[in-house]
């Protein structure tokens, strides 16, 4: 039998809605900071955000919750903060059905630029961890803050797959569509809110994506 094709999913805003990560960074950490330094939450939020901006999202530390706990000398353990707010992790409604379906025909992986600590807790809490062969974090596994061509190439190498045998979907136009396409990966842009004009490579949800990759001809015809 031929080797199964690889299907790669972005995580945040693709499989899981961003409420959880936003909450941890923008409310969870400022709350601990406010407790530690005995200041108001709004003052803590403003100081924490200033420090996030000073480091900036092109630095690896920006993504690293362990770094911020140490830097701010926050009380308690970072693991507890991630655990405490697990109830805010929500997969998009179609996700479970789509991965259950696609896993019969493809090898499924997750490729995220979030740190591994976040990726693992999100996938587990979303109840979809068993469907994925591997989980890759650009920051934790490769020391890269963005999904570069090298990031996708390394993943293909590790998965022993040619880019032409891989498919990727995600909600960032450049890092989930333009970059993987430049390597020859069949990438799709997930545009849940209809931000860009509809094109053959855009999908409005993961059900449409699944249909498009399983039945390419039928989906193209039905769009015309
Ligand atoms: Mg995303």
Torsion of CA 191, 195, 199, 200, to 10 degrees: 0
Distance 180 CA to ligand 1 centre (A): 14
Distance 43 CA to ligand 1 centre (A): 29
Instruction: Give the pLDDT confidence of 62-81 residue by residue, as tens digits.
Output: 999 999 999 999 999 999 99
Distance 224 CA to ligand 1 centre (A): 28
Distance 99 CA to ligand 1 centre (A): 17
Residue 222: per-residue pLDDT: 46
Burial class of 220 by CB neighbour count within 10 A (0 to 12, 13 to 18, 19+): exposed
Give mean pLDDT, residues 52-71.
94
Residue 221 above 80 pLDDT? no
Residue 3: per-residue pLDDT: 77
Distance 91 CA to ligand 1 centre (A): 13
Distance 10 CA to ligand 1 centre (A): 6
Distance 12 CA to ligand 1 centre (A): 4
For residue 70, which phi and psi values (nearest 5 degrees)? -70, -45
Distance 201 CA to ligand 1 centre (A): 16
Residue 183 above 70 pLDDT? yes
Segments making up each domain of the chain, as ranges: 5-17+90-223, 19-87
Q: Binning pLDDT at 50, 70 and 90, where does residue 218 land?
A: low
Give mean pLDDT, residues 159-172.
97
Determine the Cα–Cα distance for residues 94 and 96; give it in Å rounded to an integer: 6
Distance 20 CA to ligand 1 centre (A): 13
Q: Which CB contacts under 8 angstroms, 24+ apart, belong to 129-135?
A: 131/99, 131/100, 131/103, 132/99, 132/108, 133/107, 133/108, 133/109, 133/159, 134/109, 134/110, 134/158, 134/159, 135/109, 135/110
SS3 label, residue 162: coil
Distance 40 CA to ligand 1 centre (A): 32
Residue 110: per-residue pLDDT: 97
Distance 187 CA to ligand 1 centre (A): 14
| Residue percentage of the chain with pLDDT more than 90 | 89
Average pLDDT, the chain: 93
Instruction: Give the pLDDT confidence of 101-138 residue by residue, as tens digits.
Output: 999 999 999 999 999 999 999 999 999 999 999 999 99
Q: Binning pLDDT at 50, 70 and 90, where does residue 217 land?
A: low
Q: Binning pLDDT at 50, 70 and 90, where does residue 198 land?
A: confident
* Ligand 1 ion local residues (Cβ < 5 A): 10, 12-13, 171
Residues linked to residue 167 through DSSP beta bridges, in sequence order? 7, 186
| Fold (topology level) of 5-17+90-223 | Rossmann fold (3.40.50)
Instruction: Give the pLDDT confidence of 78-106 residue by residue, as tens digits.
Output: 999 999 999 999 999 999 999 999 999 99
């Amino acid at each position: 039998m031929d080797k199964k094709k690889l299907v790669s999913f972005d995580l945040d805003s693709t499989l899981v809605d961003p409420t959880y990560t936003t909450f941890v960074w923008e409310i969870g950490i400022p709350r601990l900071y406010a407790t530690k330094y005995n200041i108001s939450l709004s003052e803590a939020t403003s100081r924490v955000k200033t420090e996030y901006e000073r480091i900036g999202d092109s630095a690896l530390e920006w993504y690293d919750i362990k770094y911020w706990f140490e830097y701010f000398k926050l009380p308690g353990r970072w693991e507890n903060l991630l655990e405490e707010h697990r109830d805010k992790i929500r997969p998009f409604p179609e996700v479970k059905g789509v991965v259950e379906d696609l896993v019969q025909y493809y090898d499924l992986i997750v490729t995220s630029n979030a740190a591994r600590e976040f990726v693992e807790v999100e996938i587990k809490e979303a109840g979809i961890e068993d469907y994925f062969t591997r989980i890759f974090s650009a920051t934790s596994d490769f020391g890269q803050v963005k999904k570069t061509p090298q990031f996708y190439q390394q993943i293909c190498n590790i998965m022993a797959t040619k880019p032409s045998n891989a498919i990727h979907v995600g909600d960032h136009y450049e890092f989930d569509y333009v970059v993987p396409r430049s390597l020859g990966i069949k990438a799709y842009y997930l545009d849940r809110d209809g931000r860009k004009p509809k094109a053959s490579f855009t999908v409005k949800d993961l059900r449409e994506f699944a249909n498009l990759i399983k039945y390419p001809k039928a989906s193209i015809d039905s769009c015309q």
